[in-house]
Amino acid sequence: MERFDIIIVGAGLAGLQCARLLKNSGLKVALIDRKAQVDQRVHTTGVFVRKTLQDYHFPPGSLGPPVSHVNLYSPKGKKLSLESKHEEFAVGDMKKIYRYFLNESIKGGMIWCPQYQLMDIQKFGRDLLLDCMTPTGKEQMRCRLVIGADGVHSKVARLINLSQNQEWIVGVEDVYQIQSKDLKNKKPSFHCYLEPHLAPGYLAWVIEDGKEIHVGVGGRDKNYQAKSALDIFSKRIERDFNLKQQIKPERRGGRIPVGGILNKISNPHGLLVGDAAGAVSPLTAGGLDPCMRLTEFAVQTLAKYFSCPERDPVHILAEYSGERFQSRFFSKKWMRNSFNQLQTSQSLEFAFSILKRKPFKKLAQHIFFGRGSFPDIPELKDWKPSFIKRRGCP
Ligand SMILES: Cc1cc2nc3c(=O)[nH]c(=O)nc-3n(C[C@H](O)[C@H](O)[C@H](O)COP(=O)(O)OP(=O)(O)OC[C@H]3O[C@@H](n4cnc5c(N)ncnc54)[C@H](O)[C@@H]3O)c2cc1C
């Protein structure tokens, strides 16, 4: 049986970013996913914020036109327009980005295993044995460390005893390809709707960037029926956005963890990244920027671990802890909890009328255009992934 230094479970943005940063590292890395193709079942809208766009490189042609304009609507349909002088957002073509990240990783020596579904993990000395279901039957893979990039309900987290997400919202959206010329020439904008019945505890949204229109709803009720809420919402805004004339190719959706970063995201068997680590802003539910940043920290930790002369430097893995980021998630969690209290149309209408006032408009501006979706990690300043000279024998 081939032995890998690292097996990454999950080829979403977090797993792919991890694989890409480990390319040419000299480590033996495998990336497994239950999907047959990396660009299947994309579940994210793909809105990247300014900070991510500034700090990371994306393949040419994979980002939509920049967006600097947001409209927020009250339950009664009142509008608050927010404009930034910066290019705040861009919607990524996630399929293209995933394919690009995967190809880069494969070129850099990573082994790609599609249609490998993780079923179980067993200890094997200091190593792990991963039981996977594949189209040809059960396969066992051996590795020193496993990376859980397997999303909100991470099996890796459960199997190696790390923290698991307990709170989430459900989001679902339809993506329309814009056909009509008028819409192509419209100013790219985000429209966010406070809709306590159709989107309890979150928002309904329309994003039009001249290429696509994303129409979605998210909610956190236990019995939330996201798909029927989306159908009702789409009908309601159909005329405003000329939806009937556009091609509707795709429905996306899934759960988004909003409980903040988890405490225990590493142990001597492995690490968690992305949604598996709860690395999502509890307030905005944006997880793409945290995916990129936390994964970079994870790879830096792995580099230190594998180049340390000690036999099994588990203290290095312990430095990768969610606790160090939790204070930064505190205010966002507090704001989310306050928002959750606003369950009725009246209370939301009232909160909206306050937001429209001058000093509070700044707060709205800060929520939508704030750059800090994930704390900066001082250790990452000037850090670049490189070949890892193994000095020990982990
Ligand atoms: C509808 C919706 C819209 C969103 N829009 C935005 C947005 O616009 N901007 C933003 O910043 N964030 C957004 N988010 C959040 C963001 O998409 C996520 O935080 C991010 O995509 C998480 O990436 P990930 O790689 O951690 O997980 P995932 O993308 O969930 O990837 C997990 C991967 O693991 C694989 N996997 C799972 N279990 C196994 C197993 N047992 N064996 C093998 N493989 C397995 C899955 O097939 C999958 O490929 C949105 C989320 C949703 C649901």
Site to probe by mutation for ligand 1, drawn from 256, 258, 265 as the one with most ligand atoms within 8 Å of Cβ, is 256
290 pLDDT band, cuts 50/70/90, is very high
Q: Which residue has the higher pLDDT, 1 or 102?
A: 102
Give the global pTM: 0.94
β-strand partners of 267: 270
Least confident segment among 100-114, 275-289, 353-367: 353-367
What is 125-191 written as a DSSP string? TTEEEEEEEETTEEEEEEEEEEEE-S-TT-HHHHHTT------EEEEEEEEEE---HHHHTSPPEEE
Least confident segment among 264-273, 313-322, 331-340: 331-340
Q: Kindly report the three-state secondary structure assignment for every residue of 223-291.
A: CCCHHHHHHHHHHHHCCCCCHHHCEEEEEEEEEEECCCCCCCCEECCEEECHHHHCCCCCCCCCCHHHH
Least confident segment among 50-64, 159-173, 196-210, 375-389: 375-389
Question: Whose Cα sits closest to atom 22 in ligand 1?
Answer: 275
In this prediction, residue 187 carries a pLDDT of 87
Which atom of ligand 1 is least distant from the CA of 15? Answer: 25
Inform me whether the pLDDT recorded for 174 exceeds 80. yes
Burial of 213 (0-12, 13-18, 19+ CB in 10 A): buried
Least confident segment among 111-125, 128-142, 275-289, 329-343: 329-343
394 pLDDT band, cuts 50/70/90, is low
132 pLDDT band, cuts 50/70/90, is very high
The predicted-structure confidence for 232-253, as pLDDT tens digits, reads as follows: 999 999 999 988 888 877 999 9
In this prediction, residue 385 carries a pLDDT of 83
In this prediction, residue 3 carries a pLDDT of 95
The predicted-structure confidence for 87-119, as pLDDT tens digits, reads as follows: 999 999 999 999 999 999 999 999 999 999 999
**Which of 365, 285, 374, 372 is closest to 70 using CA atoms?**
365
Site to probe by mutation for ligand 1, drawn from 21, 33, 156 as the one with most ligand atoms within 8 Å of Cβ, is 33
| DSSP classification of residue 110 | P
Calculate the alpha carbon distances from 232 to 77, 204, 235 in Å: 16, 11, 5
Tokens of 336: 């989310």
Inform me whether the pLDDT recorded for 68 exceeds 70. yes
Dihedral sign, CA of 298, 294, 10, 256? positive
**Which of 390, 305, 340 is closest to 220 using CA atoms?**
340
Query: What mean pLDDT comes out for the span 296-318?
Result: 93
Inform me whether the pLDDT recorded for 186 exceeds 90. no
Site to probe by mutation for ligand 1, drawn from 63, 94, 288, 289 as the one with most ligand atoms within 8 Å of Cβ, is 288
Class of domain 3-167+258-380: alpha beta
Query: What mean pLDDT comes out for the span 122-139?
Result: 96
Question: Whose Cα sits closest to atom 31 in ligand 1?
Answer: 12
In this prediction, residue 374 carries a pLDDT of 81
- What ranges do the domains of the chain cover? 3-167+258-380
| Secondary element (H or E) of residue 48 | strand 47-49
β-strand partners of 92: 63
Instruction: Provide CB contacts within 8 A for 332, sequence distance 6+.
Output: 260, 281, 282, 283, 284
Tokens of 124: 């094997």
Distance CA 269, CA 330 (A): 28
Dihedral sign, CA of 206, 361, 81, 343? positive
